[in-house]
A and B are shown apart, each in its own frame.
Chain A
Amino acid sequence: MEPVSSSLSLTTITLFLPMVGLTILMFMREDTQKEAIQWTAFGFSIATFIASLLMWATFDTANGGLQMAQRFDWLPTYGISYYVAVDGLAMLLVLLSTFTMPLAILISFRAHIIEERGRVKLYYMFMLLLEWAMIGVFVAQDLVTFYIFWEVTLVPMYFLIGIWGSENRVYAAVKFFLYTMAGSILMLLAILFVGNEAGTFALPEIVAGVQSGAIVFPFDGVFSTQSFLFLGFLIAFAIKVPLWPFHSWLPDAHVQAPTSGSVILAAVLLKMGAYGMIRFCLPLFPQASVDWAPIVAGLAVIGIIYGAWVSYAQTDIKKLVAYSSVSHMGFVVLGIFALNAQGLQGAAIQMVNHGISTGGLFLLVGMLYERRHTKAMSAYGGIWKAMPLFGGISLVITLSSMGLPGLNGFVGEFTILLGSMGSQVLGFFFTMFATLGVILAAVYMLYMFQKVYMGELDKPENMNLPKLHWHEIAVLIPILIMIFWIGLQPGVFFSLLDSSTSKLIADMGQIVPQIVAQLP
């Protein structure tokens, strides 16, 4: 581990840039400076993105430990510190967050719903607060700090859905808030228990203690202390992912949220759950992870098929995309609980891919909605003819979400399936059913594409849809770049993950030897 420096680390700078922006926004006047507010928010999200790129540039891919760490005491008597750092996985997800946020802000500039509901300043303040909390979740290395960021993400998202959502927004917002809070509050107990046992809340120290045997969470089967702690964490994460059967908040939240909210929810917030599983469940409770892996992976596989199946039955485009998230995130969880380096790397790449593809899909739905004010598939048809450029871009994003080789989606799903196939704890059956999900994904995605974009342009309302505005193109281009970049050159991203995932698996293997067998 890198020695912790007292000077300001890049991690802290990246983390707090959105907060600086938020503070500035606080002093701006909504009625006279609307444009300025928008551009300030956008500017700070770009600055945060640049800062995170700088982090990437200084990141040492050969080092599997934590980098760019910063730590100072926050509540010393209770062993709690402000402790932030990144490893490969966290770095990747920080990049995903900072990449998504400028897009979400840019697409809000002309969003109809925000014009209508007003309160622009509040909106952008919540966006920046959300970005701060999201980055915080990924960089926090102290359990309590992590929990704080984790819970704080709820608040801005709740308001984004609740104030700027569509008709049924209040129900969706409250459901989102309570559902996720119910999950995470059990995690708080688990965190406190772990902290009490370990005498510190610093994750690296606790993991080291678990490694050396200094800290033991007793384990003897499915009903033991370690299993309960594992579940305390897992349920919180499973709700966020969402893992079937904890997914019921997701369609409501996605459908009611404004476009930007859906994009962030899909691209980043769901990833927090999967990230948490990798960061906390596996290293802290290795035996329980191995023991529970088939069950969790089983739920993941059910989610893959269920999500795909239900997607196919939807008539609302946004709901279709929302349920496809359940399916795609099932792959991520499957990869994680394959408990090997391949599975983990696939899961991490799939997280990014899902963020980009599904985020992209939500952007597309949002653009359609801006033009036609409906999300029913039956209202569309032949859109490709009306908007050729838009149709082309949509095809690429749809194919990427389906997992077409050469585009990003394929890389992640393929690696996950490889990992699950070679896993000592999962194996053939899990892989077989998951593969079924890949086929189903093609079915519902192509079904959607056919209904909306292909066919005759027979509805008069669709004849004269306005062309893509410059800011819409500006939002879609980065998405396209990423789709092709990850699809054609995944090595860049795998190299970021390599050391961290190998280290994690090797660490776990010391305690639970049965997963070591397949170390590369």
Chain B
Amino acid sequence: MIQAPNIADLNLEYTLPAAFLAIYTCFLLMADLFIQRKTVTAWLALGGLGVSFVFNLFVFNQGGEALEGLFIADQFTGFLNIIILVTAILTVFLSIDYLKRTQIERGEFYILLLFSTAGMMFMASANDLIVVFAALELLSIPLYIMAAFRPNDVKSEESGMKYFVLGAFASAFFLYGAALVYGATGTTRLPEIFQAVEGIVTNDSSSVFLLLVGTALLIVGLGFKVAVVPFHMWTPDVYEGSPTPVTAFMSVGAKAGGFAALLRVMVVALPTFFLNQGDTTTAWQTVVWIIAALTMIVGNFVAISQTNIKRMLAYSSIAHAGYILMAVAAAGTAGVANAAAQGALIYLLAYAFTNLGAFGVVLALEKNDGTGTNLDDFVGLSKSKPLLAAMMAIFMFSLAGIPLTGGFTGKWLIFQATLDAGLVPLAIIGVLTSVVSAFYYVRIIVNMYLRDGDGSPADGATPYVTYAIYAAFAGTVILGIFPVLATNLTDTVTIAASVIAR
């Protein structure tokens, strides 16, 4: 007999940031029907994101499990929510004028954006494989639509279609993986899986196989979302074809959500999944390690040959997924999980600011028909728009990991965790490929500063866009010069300890 849970035991207040946003968006969906000026919808969306941000600050330090363990709101969640909400807010600012000038302004855009944001937030707080799956869908489906948001543009349609078909495929992988893990452990709750794993490893060999396949499929499903090699094929086409604000949002937000789930599943549920008793590294570490190395190598090398900045940033985002995946691999060594998670969080935050800023500049250069995003369009930008060019240069340096930018802070924490985990070859691959990455990032700077040209007028640099770029710039630089502001928040992040203590 099912007993109805007591409302007070559900700890609903911990779910508030994400739940509020989801419910608010439902209301906004209806309200939008009566709103003539879609800028109003944009501001209402911003208001919702802001309120959710405030709620998040309240539960940041005092969260716990909610909804009977389906949902968890710890500092890890709180910090990811900050990243996700900042991303969403900046994306709204990037979108307002862009949608107008490319004549695709519709209120639904902001609503889809908010739904997807809510999905990401649920993903960050999921404590159960089913919730991860539901959140994954809530995150993805609006993104499929947004990718195809430019009607009558073949590229945009192709982008949406491709994303949808492959995304659905990946979701199926994840679901099957979850089913197999359930088959092996008899539960979908992450902490309970953790408890079951120990018994499986010691006694039961047939379940080990189930669990192994299940884990692999989970990695495939989530790996698709965060675009790691070899599940990255969709990324360049989708990034290139989608409207630029969507690309910006996707490249940061979907990644944050995906890595949140990946870290949570791996670290909370499977940190003791050893193939043989007495191993010190988990069964999945080697796989993740190889994927990370491949991702960094392929992403960075292929990015070199790109001529379109959106495609280049797509491959660069693949490469960055590889760096973050290094942290996941590092988390597979006992005792490093927290440091790795902290590194991944800082990296994601830095990447969010930097990449949104870079896409902001791209968006400013983009013409109304979607052209103007080739690398050559950056030639001479330092003369026509010195401030924009300077900020783009900083973003590029940050992506390459030059000190005094957020990108360096993130890379350094991740490399430190990787070395701590004893994965020295992986760290070496990481630093060497980041030199490769410097090559193509620097090429943008070469075009902006060292080549003579008239320079793009950057008509897209309307006030809202400029504010968003300023904010991203401030975030990038502050994170580089005073990383302590962010690490103070992540210092308390412990995604592993609470479980292991049990």
Please judge, given known A-B contacts A154-B402, A170-B451, A185-B432, whether A192 and B419 are in contact too, CB under 8 Å: yes
Closest-CB distance, A137 to chain B (whole angstroms) = 12
Closest-CB distance, B391 to chain A (whole angstroms) = 14
Contact digits for A173-192, partner B, Cβ 8 Å, 1 yes 0 no: 11001100110011011001
Please judge, given known A-B contacts A148-B403, A148-B404, A182-B432, whether A196 and B419 are in contact too, CB under 8 Å: yes
In the complex formed, the residue of B with least CB distance to A194 is B419
Bound form: Cα–Cα A253–B404 in Å: 24
Please judge, given known A-B contacts A185-B432, A186-B431, whether A177 and B449 are in contact too, CB under 8 Å: no
Contact digits for B267-283, partner A, Cβ 8 Å, 1 yes 0 no: 00000000000000000
Q: Range of interface residues on chain B?
A: 20 to 34
Instruction: List the A side residues contacting B428 at CB < 8 Å.
Output: 186, 189
Please judge, given known A-B contacts A151-B402, A155-B397, A178-B439, whether A189 and B419 are in contact too, CB under 8 Å: yes
B415/A181 in contact, CB under 8 A: no
Bound form: Cα–Cα A154–B435 in Å: 13
B415/A192 in contact, CB under 8 A: yes
Contact digits for A69-98, partner B, Cβ 8 Å, 1 yes 0 no: 000011111100000000000000000000
Q: Which of B397, B439, B446, B483 contacts A170 (CB 8 A)?
A: B446
B491 CB–A CB distance under 8 Å: yes
Instruction: List the A side residues contacting B427 at CB < 8 Å.
Output: 189, 192
Which of A332-368 touch B at CB < 8 Å? Answer: none
Contact digits for B412-435, partner A, Cβ 8 Å, 1 yes 0 no: 110110011000100110011011
Instruction: List the A side residues contacting B442 at CB < 8 Å.
Output: 158, 174, 177-178
Bound form: Cα–Cα A234–B449 in Å: 32
In the complex formed, the residue of A with least CB distance to B390 is A122
Instruction: List the B side residues contacting A78 at CB < 8 Å.
Output: 413, 416, 487
Please judge, given known A-B contacts A154-B402, A185-B431, whether A173 and B450 are in contact too, CB under 8 Å: yes
Bound form: Cα–Cα A181–B432 in Å: 10
A159 CB–B CB distance under 8 Å: yes
Bound form: Cα–Cα A181–B436 in Å: 10
Bound form: Cα–Cα A196–B416 in Å: 7
A174/B435 in contact, CB under 8 A: no
Which of A141-189 touch B at CB < 8 Å? Answer: 144, 147-148, 151-152, 154-155, 158-159, 162-163, 169-170, 173-174, 177-178, 181-182, 185-186, 188-189
Which of A52-84 touch B at CB < 8 Å? Answer: 73-78
Instruction: List the B side residues contacting A487 at CB < 8 Å.
Output: none
Instruction: List the B side residues contacting A188 at CB < 8 Å.
Output: 412, 415, 431
A170/B450 in contact, CB under 8 A: yes
B438 CB–A CB distance under 8 Å: yes
Bound form: Cα–Cα A293–B451 in Å: 44
A18 CB–B CB distance under 8 Å: no
Instruction: List the B side residues contacting A174 at CB < 8 Å.
Output: 439, 442-443, 446
B484 CB–A CB distance under 8 Å: yes
Please judge, given known A-B contacts A155-B402, A181-B435, A185-B431, whether A75 and B450 are in contact too, CB under 8 Å: no
Q: For chain A, what secondary structure do more than half of its interface residues adopt (helix, strand, loop), or is it mixed?
A: helix
A412 CB–B CB distance under 8 Å: no
A195 CB–B CB distance under 8 Å: yes
A193 CB–B CB distance under 8 Å: yes
Bound form: Cα–Cα A155–B415 in Å: 22
Instruction: List the A side residues contacting B432 at CB < 8 Å.
Output: 182, 185
B402/A163 in contact, CB under 8 A: no
Closest-CB distance, B21 to chain A (whole angstroms) = 31
Bound form: Cα–Cα A31–B397 in Å: 28
B487/A75 in contact, CB under 8 A: yes
Closest-CB distance, A177 to chain B (whole angstroms) = 6
Please judge, given known A-B contacts A77-B487, A178-B438, A181-B435, whether A152 and B403 are in contact too, CB under 8 Å: yes
Bound form: Cα–Cα A186–B483 in Å: 22
Instruction: List the B side residues contacting A155 at CB < 8 Å.
Output: 397, 402
A189/B449 in contact, CB under 8 A: no
Which of A247-305 touch B at CB < 8 Å? Answer: none
Bound form: Cα–Cα A173–B435 in Å: 15
Which among B404, B412, B434 has the greatest number of chain A C-beta atoms within 10 A? B412
In the complex formed, the residue of A with least CB distance to B427 is A189
B435/A163 in contact, CB under 8 A: no
A163/B449 in contact, CB under 8 A: yes
Instruction: List the B side residues contacting A154 at CB < 8 Å.
Output: 402
Instruction: List the B side residues contacting A163 at CB < 8 Å.
Output: 449-450
Bound form: Cα–Cα A418–B484 in Å: 49
Contact digits for A476-506, partner B, Cβ 8 Å, 1 yes 0 no: 0000000000000000000000000000000
Bound form: Cα–Cα A425–B328 in Å: 46
Instruction: List the A side residues contacting B424 at CB < 8 Å.
Output: 189, 193
Bound form: Cα–Cα A159–B413 in Å: 28
A75/B419 in contact, CB under 8 A: no
Instruction: List the A side residues contacting B404 at CB < 8 Å.
Output: 148, 152
Contacts beyond the supplied A74-B484, A76-B484, A78-B413: 16 A-B pairs with Cβ under 8 Å: A78-B416, A154-B402, A155-B397, A163-B450, A170-B450, A173-B450, A174-B443, A185-B431, A188-B415, A189-B419, A189-B424, A189-B428, A192-B412, A192-B427, A193-B419, A193-B424
| Closest A-B pairs by Cβ, 8 of them | A148-B403, A162-B450, A185-B431, A182-B435, A151-B403, A192-B416, A170-B450, A77-B491
